[in-house]
Structure 1
Amino acid sequence: MKLASYADGSRDGHLVVVSRDLTQAHYATGIATRMQQLLDDWGFIAPKLEDLAVQLNHGKLRHAFAFEPEKCLAPLPRGCGWAVVDADGGVRRDMGSFSSPHQPLRAPAAGEAALAAITGDLAAASDAAAALDAMRLLTLAMDWRIDGELVATQCAPLAVTPDELGDGWAAGRLQARLQLLHNGAKQSPRDVDAAPGQALARLARLRSLRAGQVAGMSLGALDLPLAAGDSLLLDLKTAAGNSLFGAIDLDIAPPPAA
């Protein structure tokens, strides 16, 4: 299933289910109102949301509405923690607060893309297989840093279960392509091959993880000369060109006045 958190004036937004083709959505009211509720009680709530998603995909919900990515917060605006695992196994930990996919960046910054895995409860010293079993959702994230300091982490509009990834998901690995538009011009795409279970197991090596912990697998720096007034769009797509998580689509605003 595909899930999003619609802005409603609250810190966490309102949980919605999104159709497979990203055209329709339906509030999850009566089942769960926030993403964290789902993660805290996955075994009970997830099957009900799956049923709702099936009905939505078959056009059987009277109160479905057009999905508008611009209304989305990050899928999990306040996680239990955010850590990025580098290709060499190094871990960088930060707070678990995530910006919306369309929030302007307030100054040019260095960007690093990551495939983000959202987990349920995971015991310390779990292996990759157990970590993969505890993984609930995946999304695309971007870390933004100025002079090495993290200033924002943005997420794509959607968090999805692995079964929605189609041919791009096999044996616990995601294989996809990161597409990038800079000021409307296509940049060279980047092939992605990531194993989120391994990243979660790395985080759980010495301590347990709570439901809502988010682990990012670094997809590398953007290496783009960004300037105020630029626009940037990042989208992780299947080999067939289908968007997996919706796009991070933002403008870079001038820095705030001193």
Structure 2
Amino acid sequence: MKLASYADGSRDGHLVVVSRDLTQAHYATGIATRLQQVLDDWGFIAPQLEDLAVQLNHGKLRHAFNFEPDKCLAPLPRAYGWAVVDAGGGVRREAGSFASPHQPLRAAACCEPALAAIAGDLAAASDAAAALDALRLLGFAIDWRIDGELIATQAAPVVVTPDELGDAWAAGRLQARLHALHNGAKQVPSDVAAAPGEALARLARLRALRAGQVAGVALGALDLSLAPGDSLHLDLKTAAGTSLFGAIDLDIAPPAP
């Protein structure tokens, strides 16, 4: 299933189920109103949302509506933690606050994309196999840094259960391509591979993780020269070109007059 959080004036937004092709949505009212509720009681709530997703994908919900990504907050705006694990196993712990996929930046910054793995409860010292069992949802996020200092973390509008990834998901690994448009100009897509179970196990090496912890698997900094007034469109897609999590669209504030 695919889930998103529509802005409704609250800090956490209102949970919606999104169709597989990212065109339709339906409020999850009556099952859960925010994503953290689902993570806290996954075994009971997730099957109900799965049933709703099946009906949505088959066009059987009368009150379905067009999915509009620009109405989304981050799927989990206030996570219990956000930490990025790099290719060498190093861990960079950050605050657990995620900006919406369309929130502008006030200054040009370095772009560091990551696969975001949202866990359920995970015991300390769990191995990668146990961490995969605790994996609940996957998403796409970007850290923005100036001189090494984090200024914002943005999240794509949709998170998905691994079974929704199709051929892009095999043996606990995501295989995808990162597509970018810089000021409307297409950049060469880059192939990415990520193992979220290993990242979650790395975070749980010394302490237990609680439902709502997010582990980022670093996908490598983008080699782009950004400037005030620029725009950037980023999307993780399958080899066939299908968007997995919806796009992050960013505008950098223009220079002051």
User: TM-score scaled to structure 2, two decimals?
Assistant: 0.99
Give structure 1 regions of 4+ aligned residues with deviation exceeding 6 angstroms: none
Match of 1:182 in 2: 182
- Report what 1:14 is aligned to: 14
Is residue 2:30 matched to residue 1:30? Answer: yes
Query: What is aligned with 1:169?
Result: 169
1:203 aligned partner: 203
CA apart distance, 1:25? 0.2
Matched with 2:152 is: 152
Q: Does 1:81 align with 2:81?
A: yes
Question: Where do 1:48-67 residues align within 5 Å?
Answer: 48-67=48-67
1:143-168 deviation digits (Å, cap 9, x = unpaired): 00111110000000000000000001
Q: 1:47 to 1:129 in 2, by over 3 A?
A: same
Q: Which amino acid aligns with 1:113?
A: P
Shift of 1:254: 3.8
Identity of aligned residues (%): 84
SS of alignment partner, residue 53 of structure 1: helix
Shift of 1:188: 1.2
Pairing of 1:39-54 with structure 2 (within 5 A): 39-54=39-54
CA contact (8 A) 1:144 1:150 kept: yes
Provide the rounded CA distance (Å) in 2 between the counterparts of 1:172 and 1:210.
21
Preserved CA contact (<8 Å) 1:8 1:14? yes
- TM-superposed deviation, 1:255: 7.0
C-alpha displacement of 1:120: 0.4
What amino acid does structure 2 have at the position aligned with 1:214? V
Q: Report how many aligned residue pairs link the two structures.
A: 257
Does structure 2 retain, via aligned residues, the 8 Å contact 1:83–1:93?
A: yes
Alpha carbon RMSD of aligned pairs, Å?
1.0
Q: TM-score, normalised by structure 1?
A: 0.98
Mapped contact 1:106–1:256 kept (Cα < 8 A): no
User: Which AA in structure 1 matches 2:41?
Assistant: D
Matched residue, 1:120: 120
Paired residue secondary structure (1:139):
strand
| 8 A contact 2:230–2:254 mirrored in 1 | no
Report what 1:236 is aligned to.
Answer: 236
Question: Are the aligned partners of 2:85 and 2:218 in contact in 1 as well (CA < 8 Å)?
Answer: yes
> Per-residue displacement from partner, 1:75-129 (whole Å, max 9, x unpaired)?
0000000000000000000110000000001110111000010000000000000
2: CA distance, partners of 1:33 / 1:77 = 14
Instruction: Decide whether the 8 Å contact of 1:106 with 1:255 is kept in 2.
Output: no
Structure 2 unaligned residues grouped into runs of 5+: none
Give the secondary-structure state (helix, strand or coil) at the position aligned to 2:219.
strand
Q: Which amino acid aligns with 2:82?
A: W
